[in-house]
């Protein structure tokens, strides 16, 4: 029996669940329906496992995206993954949502830029280049003004593939800045794939990497507005908690 990975991605408006085995995607569900992840995630997991006639006890490990992306979405996915892992004694692994999205461009002959809207003309992003096993970071994950990102991209003077549903919000400025060097993903390529998430964690297991503890931290890249207000109050000495 091969290694089986249950992969869960709720870091964006897209809900993705997949089960992957060595060299094979056994099943995958991807929804871009703009509905609440908290209502759909567990029924989607249960439905996929039922369709595949696989019990949770047969799952080797659970893989989840730890962000960046939707604060609520990330918490729902990670909390669910942690609960399943803890309850059924299954090892847990996590991957960056940006890296998972970048994997859709792993065969692109140039740079790959996954992009998620961070509001106020900023983006969650990183810059990647394909390698034999997938992609590797050229520019680390961070929150940037879109103009600062494009200024950096313009220095490479090579084709750049932008991926993500949020790219459409910035397409005009990307084209104005980079011209013919700018390339854009197809609708399917703009959706993160849970199967890629599962494959990344499968590779970790095969390399002998240890699973995460239940206390691993989420990868927000920036604090929420509520957290920022709380920190500001602490510095001012008010000490009032936020919900």
The structure's pTM equals 0.89
Among 135, 100, 81, CA closest to 30: 100
Residues 8-17 have pLDDT tens digits of 999 999 999 9
Edge-to-edge order in the sheet of strand 24-31 = 24-31, 15-21, 4-9, 61-65, 92-95
Do 158 and 221 belong to one domain? no
One domain, residues 206 and 179: no
pLDDT given at position 242: 33
| Contact assessment for residue 53 and residue 4, using Cβ atoms and an 8 Å cutoff | no
d(CA 118, CA 28): 28
Residues in the chain with pLDDT values less than 70 = 1, 214, 222-243
DSSP collapsed to 3 states, the chain:
CCCEEEEEECCCCCEEEEEEECCEEEEEEEECCCCCHHHHHHHHHHHHHHHHCCCHHHCCEEEEECCCCCHHHHHHHHHHHHHHHHHHCCCEEEECHHHHHHHHHCCCCCEEEEEEEEECCEEEEEEEEEECCEEEEEEEEEEEEHHHHHHHHHCCCCCEEEECHHHHHCHHHHHHHHHHHEEECCCCCCCCCHHHHHHHHHHHHHCCCCCCCCCCCCCCCCCCHHHHHHHHHHHHCCCCCCC
Q: Which domain holds residue 28?
A: 4-97+192-233
Output the six-digit token pair for 205.
């297991």
46 and 116 in a single domain? The answer is no
pLDDT reported for residue 1: 63
Look at residue 240 and tell me if it is in a domain: no
Q: What is the total count of domains within the chain?
A: 2
92 and 211 co-located in one domain = yes
- Specify if 243 maps to a domain: no
């Amino acid at each position: 029996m091969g290694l089986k990975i249950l992969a869960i991605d709720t870091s964006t408006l897209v809900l993705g669940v997949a089960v992957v085995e060595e060299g094979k995607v056994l099943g995958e569900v991807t929804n871009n329906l703009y509905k609440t992840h908290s209502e759909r995630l567990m029924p989607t997991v249960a439905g996929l496992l039922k369709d595949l006639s696989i019990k949770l006890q047969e799952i080797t490990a659970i893989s989840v995206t730890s962000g960046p992306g939707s604060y609520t979405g990330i918490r729902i996915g990670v909390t669910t993954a942690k609960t399943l892992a803890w309850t059924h004694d299954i090892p847990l692994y996590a991957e960056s949502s940006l890296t998972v999205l970048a994997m859709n461009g792993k065969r692109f002959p140039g740079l790959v830029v996954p992009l998620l809207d961070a509001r106020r003309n900023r983006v969650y992003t990183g810059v990647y280049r394909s390698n034999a096993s997938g992609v590797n970071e050229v520019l680390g994950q961070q929150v940037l003004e879109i103009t600062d990102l494009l200024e950096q991209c313009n220095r490479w003077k090579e084709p750049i593939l932008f991926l993500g549903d949020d790219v459409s919000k910035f397409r005009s400025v990307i084209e104005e800045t980079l011209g013919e060097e700018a390339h854009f993903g197809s609708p399917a390529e703009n959706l993160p794939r849970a199967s890629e998430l599962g494959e990344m964690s499968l590779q970790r297991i095969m390399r002998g990497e240890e699973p995460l503890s239940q206390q691993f931290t989420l990868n927000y890249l920036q604090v929420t507005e509520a957290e920022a207000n709380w920190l500001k109050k602490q510095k001012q000495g008010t000490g009032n908690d936020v919900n």
